[in-house]
Each structure stands twice: as C-alpha cells, then as structure tokens.
Amino acid sequence: MSNSTYQIRVFGDPVLKQRAKDVTDIDGALVGVVNTMVETMYDASGVGLAAPQVGVQKRLFTYDVGDGPEVVFNPEVAETEGEWTYEEGCLSIPGFHFEIVRPKLVTITGLDIDGNEVTIQGDELLGRVFLHELDHLDGVLMLERLDPETRKQAMIALRDADLDAAARERLDDIRRL
C-alpha cells in the first residue's frame, strides 16, 4: 500500500523562489513524476501540488478538489472573474494560513497528460488552487499576496516556526495547496 512520495520543500528552500521551466516533452519519466506527485499530495492531505514544491523545476501541477486527481502542464491564466476571500493554506508553509482575496472564477489553458490542449474553468476552491499553484510555478508564495503589515507579522512568526513539526501535526482542517 505504501507508494513512494517526494519530500515537500518548505519555506526557506530556494527552489520555491525560482521560476519553473516549460514542459517540452511529456514522456514516461515525467508521467512517473506526476504519479509520485499525486501520491505526495494525497499523503500530505493537500488539494493541489506544484512541481517546484517537490524540487522539480517544471511547469506542471496536480490537484484534486474531490473529483479525482488531475494534472496540467504549462498552465496559463486565460480569464478571471469576480473576487473571493478564502482561508488559504500551503503545503510548503505548514502551520500557517491566511485570508487571501483572489478572483473567484478562473479559466486556465494548458496541456493534459496526453499533450492535448485543454481549457479548464475553476470556481471558488478550484480557481483558488489554479492561481496558488501558478504562483508556485513563478516562484511566488502566498505570503506575497498578503498586505504589507500581515506579511511582516507572518515573516516574524515564520522565523521562529518549526515547519517540519507543523507538517507532521496537521491539527487544523485547512485545505493546503
């Protein structure tokens, strides 16, 4: 029953601040990466996981908001609409969650696992996952979506936080992306 998983990189790891590169070839090795990412996401009770969070510098993310695992390669935002506030958590910043305003309805384009072009629309949580994971692909953490004062306080708290312990505990029911 035990499948292999990746170690999730946490705040402070330089890989989280780098822009990931376009996927040029969806080969067997990359499909293997996707499968391990899905296992890693489930193992951590996450609803979304971007490749840089497991140290893979490629533009892809996996997600499952309750309809089964999905993957998108080279995602781009096509359209956004509205506004939605949500208590957002991140697998790479365990123990922290913040109310963040983002668009409510998000349409992305990208490639599916067969290399076909796809257009996917996400409302509320799914739209949130899309934007959060796209940020990861650009080396942006949710901390950068906070207002300056909240961000300042978060950085102070993060300095003293034991993120590895927080990752093990998972005491709250915040959905992490």
Out of 54, 90, 131, 163, the only residue in the binding site for Zn ion (CB under 5 A) is: 90
Active site residue 133: yes
177 scored as a contact of Zn ion (CB under 5 A): yes
Instruction: Tell me which DSSP letter residue 51 carries.
Output: G
Of 39, 117, 133, 149, the active-site residue reads: 133
Tell me the closest approach of the beta carbon of residue 115 to Zn ion, in angstroms.
Answer: 26
- Kindly indicate which of the ranges 16-24, 63-71, 85-93, 164-172 contains the residues binding Zn ion, using the contact rule CB under 5 A: 85-93
E strands present in the chain: 48-50, 60-63, 70-81, 84-89, 97-102, 105-111, 117-123
Give the list of residues 6+ apart from residue 2 with CB closer than 8 angstroms, or none: none
137 scored as a contact of Zn ion (CB under 5 A): no
Nearer to Zn ion by Cβ, of 58 and 119: the residue is 58
Tell me the closest approach of the beta carbon of residue 135 to Zn ion, in angstroms.
Answer: 8
| Burial of residue 144, with CB atoms counted within 10 A of its CB: 0-12 exposed, 13-18 middle, 19 or more buried | exposed
Is there a contact between 142 and 132 (Cβ–Cβ < 8 Å)?
A: yes
CA 95, 99, 105, 111 torsion: positive or negative?
Answer: negative
Tell me the closest approach of the beta carbon of residue 2 to Zn ion, in angstroms.
Answer: 24
Residue number, nearest CB to Zn ion:
90
Tell me the closest approach of the beta carbon of residue 171 to Zn ion, in angstroms.
Answer: 18
51 scored as a contact of Zn ion (CB under 5 A): no
Go through the chain and tell me how many residues it has.
Answer: 177
Positions touching Zn ion (CB under 5 A) are: 90, 177
